[in-house]
Structure 1
Amino acid sequence: MNESLDTVHGRQVLRIERRLAHPPEKVWPAVTEPEHLREWFPAEVRLDPRAGGRMTFSFGSGPDAPPESVGRVDAYEPPRLFAFTWEGELFRIELHPDGPGCLLVFSHVFDDRAGAASFASGWRICLDALDGVLEGRAPDRSARPSGRLHESYVERFGLADGVAEDTGDGWRVRFERQLTRPAEAVWAALTDAAPDRPTALGAPPPPGFTTDEFPAGPVSTLAAPTLLEYTWEVAGAAAGRIRWELVQGTGHGARLVLEQTGPADPPSGPATALAAWRRRIEPLARQLAEEADRLTGDRATG
């Protein structure tokens, strides 16, 4: 199986290739007909099978189910190509003859680069289910991507790196990192090193929010469990700010947005910040992924 993430015209393109033991004619109904799609696709689908046809996607009828959404069939060429648009994102399933079987090429075009590991691990589980259905195995509807699988895609696609920019009077470093546990669990992990030290405005931030390279000043903004901001200091004077925020992510967990600002001098500041915060974030992400896998147990795969 080949998997890649590229940027094309400013959008992210996730591409997954998988060889199947069955010819396109057998696979085609499994990837286009609603009664078969429900066995592996993440939503219930209804569609008008023609280019320009309407598609609807639903996730059940319970009180907590999200509302139904509408998409469009962009291409319908049996048994070769099925493409559609769903909530502004593009999906394409190609079936190429390959000996007695076929090569399935799945692509997903989207904007949220930080969510790419979630999308890749989710589609990996879906395509595993499709393969199982084609082989006559009952789908495991409780299966979900493991934290380990999610983190493997973060590493493979280079999603752990931050970015730095010149602000005119200094610099800004920013990390946007999809995590595998909800905000409450992330906050608990960040504050666990000092459980007896209250997190409060005007107090020093817990060690989990800091790094030795940038001495921490007092907490200036606090909204547990989603926001903590403080100044960092040079020779006792404020030099910039560091802001940790946990926002809504892809459904796998909270999205961490970490920003730091600093002065133009010394010019090595952004490089130091990029390295220091990556060293801080990666052990946190691994810890949360391991915790997620312990909690889901056998239901987590990959």
Structure 2
Amino acid sequence: MNESLREVDGRNQLYMERRFAHPIEVVWRAITDPDRLAAWFPYRVEWELRVGAPIRFSAEGDEGTGVITELAPPHVIEYTWDNTVLRWELRPEGEGTLLVFTQAFGDRPSAASYAAGWETCLDFLTASLDGAPEPEVGDLAVAHERYVAQFGLDRGYSTHLPDGRWAVRFERQLTRPADQVWAALTGGVEPVVGGPAPAPATTPEFADGQVTEVEPGRQLTYEWQTAERIAGQVRYELEEGTGQGPRLVVTQTGPQDLDATEAALKIWRDKVEAFAGEVAAQAP
């Protein structure tokens, strides 16, 4: 299997390959016949195989829609699924088949969740084609964290705000439920406005001050300071994410005359990754 994350025409593209010891016609049926798809695809699929045909995806009360955008049996099927585009291309290799799968999407931090999920699905596809028992499904958090590192999804970015202040920002998809993440962030003690920032949310390189905003389970903001003054804010937000947990967004702002962006990018990268690792290591 070969996985990579690329940028194509302004969108993120997840790229995966897998080889099968089966003729292309057999693999084509496995990726287009709804009854065969049920053995490995994450949702039940209802469609008519023609370009422009609508698609309905359903699983345990969750539904999605799409449209077939390209069809060239038994080589290519491409379709939309909500805001993403999935493309399955089959190429003969001797007596076997090479599958090239791509998924195009806009939200880059989602890439690790998508890759971990499709890795599992393709394992089930392989077992289905080979007539083998279904593989055991491990903790997806392990694969997710591997893809975060492989795709460079642990990196933040810096910007300068209209008022001259600087800001650094990290978006990190997590793999445990939001209430579990919030408890880890606060140390199990709910912060209050005017009180101290919870230790798990702070870093010694930037001295923390008072909490200025709290929305339990969703948002925490506190001041950071130098020896002379309050310098800016650190803000944690838990937003709706992809996969099995929320999206953690960490932002730090600072004054124009104290540009610490380079240091902040390294410090918060280490902090966010250590926190994400601790959360991922917890039982779901």
Question: TM-score category by the smaller chain?
Answer: over 0.9
Match of 2:106 in 1: 111
Does the Cα contact within 8 Å between 1:122 and 1:145 map onto a contact in 2? no
Tell me which of 157, 181, 189 is aligned to 1:186: 181
Change (3 A) 1:30 1:117: same
Tell me which of 165, 168, 191 is aligned to 1:170: 165
Tell me which of 246, 271, 275 is aligned to 1:280: 271
Partner SS state of residue 234, structure 2: strand
Does the Cα contact within 8 Å between 2:171 and 2:247 map onto a contact in 1? yes
Match of 2:33 in 1: 33
Deviation, 1:198, is 5.5
Partner SS state of residue 266, structure 1: coil
1:1-302 alignment to 2 at 5 Å? Answer: 1-60=1-60, 65-66=61-62, 68-139=63-134, 143=137, 145-168=139-162, 169-192=164-187, 199-267=191-259, 269-291=260-282, 294-295=283-284
Does the Cα contact within 8 Å between 1:174 and 1:258 map onto a contact in 2? yes
CA distance in 1, matches of 2:119, 2:270: 28
CA distance in 1, matches of 2:139, 2:50: 32
CA distance in 2, matches of 1:28, 1:9: 28
TM-score by length of 2: 0.95
CA distance in 2, matches of 1:198, 1:285: 20
Deviations 1:111-155 (A, max 9, x none): 110110000000000011000100113446x83652111000000
CA distance in 2, matches of 1:206, 1:150: 27
CA distance in 2, matches of 1:198, 1:19: 51
Does the Cα contact within 8 Å between 1:17 and 1:106 map onto a contact in 2? yes
What do you get for the CA RMSD once the two structures are aligned?
1.6
Does the Cα contact within 8 Å between 2:190 and 2:216 map onto a contact in 1? no
Letter in 2 for 1:274: L
CA distance in 2, matches of 1:178, 1:144: 19
Structure 1: unaligned runs, 5 residues or longer: 296-302
Does the Cα contact within 8 Å between 1:122 and 1:144 map onto a contact in 2? no
Structure 2: unaligned runs, 5 residues or longer: none
Structure 1 consecutive aligned stretches of length 4 or more whose deviation exceeds 4 Å: none
CA distance in 2, matches of 1:182, 1:247: 11
CA distance in 2, matches of 1:211, 1:136: 52
Name the structure, 1 or 2, with higher relative contact order (CA <8 Å, separation 6+).
1
Change (3 A) 1:31 1:280: same
Deviation, 1:224, is 1.7
CA distance in 1, matches of 2:137, 2:190: 39
How many residues align? The count is: 283
